[in-house]
Structure 1
Amino acid sequence: MDDNRKTYENAKKLFMEVLKFCIEENRYFKFKETIYTQLKGLPMGSPTSSVIADIVMEELLENTTAKLTRTPRCITKYVDDLFAIINENDVKSTLDTLNSFDKNIKFTTELEDNGKLPYLDTIIIRRGNQLKLKWYKKSTSTGRIINFYSKHPKKMIMNTAMGCIRRMLQISDDTYHKEIKEEIKLILKRNYFPDNVIKTLIKRSLSQTSQRESEKTKIFKSLAYVPKLSERLAKSDCYNGEKVKIAHKPINTLKNIFNKTKSEIPKTEKSNIVYKIPCNGNKTESCNNIYVGTTKAKLKSQLAQHKSDFKYCHETINQKTALMTHCATKNHFPDFDKTTILQQDTNYNKRVTLEMLHIINTPTSIRMNYKTDIDNCASSYRHLITNRRTVQNSAFSSEDA
């Protein structure tokens, strides 16, 4: 029994140390080459922040409600937003009690107005002894969803609109569905949805349960969305459409556009990358050949390996990479300083596929890589890339003409 108790205490101690590290010691960030530590609260985006916040709020409610002179008829929370039904005379004392839990946690109140109280994205309406919910739009809301003519997969545009419609209707009591449908029409019109599409979406919004159930058995794979090309791929027979469903994702996301909020990681410190190294030729001969590679390690580690291989590349016939074979046979020098990162992905299979696609996309006349480096690339990828390149070349030719 003592051994079990000791094991439990050791496990608890270890857990508390790990937890302390996550919520107290791991609150640093880098901005303009300076490292800062967050003194209060928890960092936004941290996986532990929402969990800890929920635990703290549970503790707060458990401690403070026990101190109230009159227990509220109802008090509930969503993360840090509270909703309560209390006597009008108890509002101030309840607020003071809640704010007494911790000096860094302060609540404000919003009282019902004419029997209505906004809470999160609903408005709670009191009718006698009944409470009814209606979808609520804040004054700061723009009502913007994906524009109908945006360069996204049409299915994504439709599904986003459908999700918005279902949410607005499901939140609202049946009593308010008629006026909510008018709100839906206004929102979709502002996002340039045609009238006939709006009508179809509203009609279809509540009749897709069986279809969603059947899609649960399918395997979903994500691919970057390329207008016209992605639509052709979806209709092709290069994969089993009965078992696999392609989910296209746009490349131009807000994350990619606004990615300068933090200090950029130095190029050589980046890992899980696809990269290219150009050849610098030698003193008597210039060369613009390119080698494409991939690595899970940091770029500086991979370059150090390449430099080590280059140092001894003339001592053996069998080379580790096509880059070293090229340098050994032609007596050329790689231009390591001009190494470029092409793409970054933590998924090994995706990264290897990206490497092969970049090799294929490099003109044959300046490609260093071995033919075996792309043997595993699916023929469908090759066909699409080759066809797309042919279409682009034809377009340029017609413009020149």
Structure 2
Amino acid sequence: MTRPEFKSLITLAVKESFFLFDKIPYMQVDGVSMGSPLAPTLANIFLCHHEQQWLDNCPPEFKPLYFRRYVDDTFLVFNKLDHATLFLQYLNNQHPNIMFTMDGAVDGSLSFLDLNISLDHGTLSTEIFRKPTFSGLGISFFSHVPLNFKVNAITTLLHRAYHLSSSYISLSAELDFLRKFFSINGYPVHLFETQCKKFLSYIYRPKPVSFDVLRRKVYFSVPYYGRESERLYSSLSSSLSDLYPQFYFKFVPTNPFTIGSLFPYKDRVPDELRSKIIYQFSCESCNASYIGSTCQGMSVRVGQHRGISHRTNRPLATVMHSVPRDHAEEHNHPINTKNFTIINSSSNYDDLHILESLHIQRDKPNLINVRLYAVPLFITN
């Protein structure tokens, strides 16, 4: 791939961004498309490139002694306070779309990310910092999530407490806070104490390193329905490991019923633009029906079935095989866009074919389908 080709692909991926707002289509003309996986990486590359130039060209009179950045938060050290003000003005004159703000140390203490950094007699000390808006709420022990998620919530904060506390006094204070924090959120005291003891033993009494053959990790996304699901995951993992010892099987529980799924806030994409769908063709002249799936847009797939371009509404030069069109031509039944409806969708390619097979199995579309399944199903009644 040449550099111009690569640049063209990047431009297409991050700049040609269209979206709907109040049923009106818009094209984003400034910045990187929101939600794009490339956006954080490109933003970081952009800042890395420019900040190096800005630092190199910074007047030495107020150039920082120390400069570190994490995403959009920077930590700087200057000789004098007025140097910080001059440097802030200098940075804010470098790019019209970038504007920095500044917080200075108060009584020798400054918060940065999750840290509270203090300077005392030339020595820096760190402890956990929480914003004034911290509510004290975390994942409830009574939440409908796997137990290991709740245990991981404890070990994650223990890990942070240990590695971000520069003294045993700070660590002890943070452990006391976490003990109260998890108790408020419904966790049994013995669960926190057990995980705390386990974590500290791992830190201060590490086990000897054992050497074993590395196994390839295989992940499965599966629905979560409670403790029965956890027992099923454990049983499946054990059975599969016996059959395939060279693999490490990991089941990742998911729950599609999120708050976002119950309260959609984005404009619904019109059916003709939706992709990765299961659709049904119903003949308006008889009771014949057909079920199919496509990763293309609905209008594109319907146009292929009709033998007409979805862009120009003219006959296609190369017409692909279509069971609905064969039926329409054989029986002289009209075929229109209104004969096609979306009945399901999935963002996963494999799940799409499984869904198609399940719909064919359930609805039995009058034998228009050449195959009775998209993928083989093993279903017992």
Band the TM-score falls in, shorter-chain normalisation: 0.7 to 0.9
| Whole-angstrom CA distance in 2 between matches of 1:314 and 1:41 | 48
Q: Closer, same or farther in 2 for the Cα pair 1:118/1:237, shift >3 Å? A: closer
Aligned equivalent of 2:314 = none
Give the counterpart letter for 1:26 in structure 2. Answer: E
> Is it true that 1:31 corresponds to 2:21 in the alignment?
yes
| Whole-angstrom CA distance in 2 between matches of 1:370 and 1:246 | 35
* Alignment match of 1:246 (pick from 248, 251, 258): 251
- Residue deviations 1:143-162 (CA, integer Å, cap 9, x gap): 43332111122222322332
Shifted more, 222-231 versus 290-299: the winner is 290-299
Counterpart mapping for 1:59-138 below 5 A: 59-64=50-55, 66-87=58-79, 88-138=81-131
Aligned equivalent of 1:193 = 187
Whether contact under 8 Å (2:302, 2:337) holds in the other structure is no
| Whole-angstrom CA distance in 2 between matches of 1:179 and 1:62 | 42
The alignment-based identity, stated in percent, is: 23
Q: CA deviation at 1:255?
A: 4.1
Structure 2: 5+ residue stretches without partners: 307-321
Q: Closer, same or farther in 2 for the Cα pair 1:299/1:20, shift >3 Å? A: closer
Structure 1: 5+ residue stretches without partners: 1-9, 317-326, 387-401
Q: Closer, same or farther in 2 for the Cα pair 1:30/1:101, shift >3 Å? A: same
SS in 1 for 2:240: coil
Q: Closer, same or farther in 2 for the Cα pair 1:71/1:339, shift >3 Å? A: closer
Aligned equivalent of 1:145 = 138
Q: Closer, same or farther in 2 for the Cα pair 1:178/1:222, shift >3 Å? A: same
> What TM-score, normalized by structure 2, do the two folds share?
0.74
Counterpart mapping for 1:1-400 below 5 A: 11=2, 25-26=15-16, 28-38=18-28, 40-58=30-48, 59-64=50-55, 66-87=58-79, 88-175=81-168, 176-205=170-199, 207=202, 217-228=216-227, 230-237=229-236, 240-241=240-241, 243=247, 244-261=249-266, 263-276=267-280, 292-303=291-302, 309-310=323-324, 312-313=326-327, 337=339, 339-345=341-347, 347-359=348-360, 362=362, 372-373=372-373, 376-377=376-377, 379=378, 382=379
Q: CA deviation at 1:94?
A: 1.8
- Residue deviations 1:343-364 (CA, integer Å, cap 9, x gap): 312x33222223334555x388
SS in 2 for 1:67: coil
Aligned-pair Cα RMSD in Å: 4.1
Aligned equivalent of 2:319 = none
> Which structure dedicates a bigger proportion of its chain to helix?
1
| Whole-angstrom CA distance in 1 between matches of 2:11 and 2:285 | 55
Give the counterpart letter for 2:343 in structure 1. Answer: I
Q: Closer, same or farther in 2 for the Cα pair 1:146/1:276, shift >3 Å? A: farther
Q: CA deviation at 1:178?
A: 0.7
| Whole-angstrom CA distance in 2 between matches of 1:146 and 1:368 | 50
Q: Closer, same or farther in 2 for the Cα pair 1:38/1:204, shift >3 Å? A: same
Q: CA deviation at 1:74?
A: 1.0
Whether contact under 8 Å (2:354, 2:375) holds in the other structure is no
| Whole-angstrom CA distance in 2 between matches of 1:314 and 1:108 | 66
Give the counterpart letter for 2:178 in structure 1. Answer: I
| Whole-angstrom CA distance in 2 between matches of 1:21 and 1:28 | 11
Give the counterpart letter for 1:298 in structure 2. Answer: G
SS in 2 for 1:339: strand
Q: CA deviation at 1:83?
A: 0.6
Whether contact under 8 Å (2:115, 2:126) holds in the other structure is yes
Q: CA deviation at 1:278?
A: 6.6
Give the counterpart letter for 2:89 in structure 1. Answer: D
> What TM-score, normalized by structure 1, do the two folds share?
0.71
Q: Closer, same or farther in 2 for the Cα pair 1:73/1:351, shift >3 Å? A: same
Q: Closer, same or farther in 2 for the Cα pair 1:134/1:357, shift >3 Å? A: farther
Q: Closer, same or farther in 2 for the Cα pair 1:196/1:62, shift >3 Å? A: same
Q: CA deviation at 1:232?
A: 4.6
Shifted more, 53-62 versus 191-200: the winner is 53-62
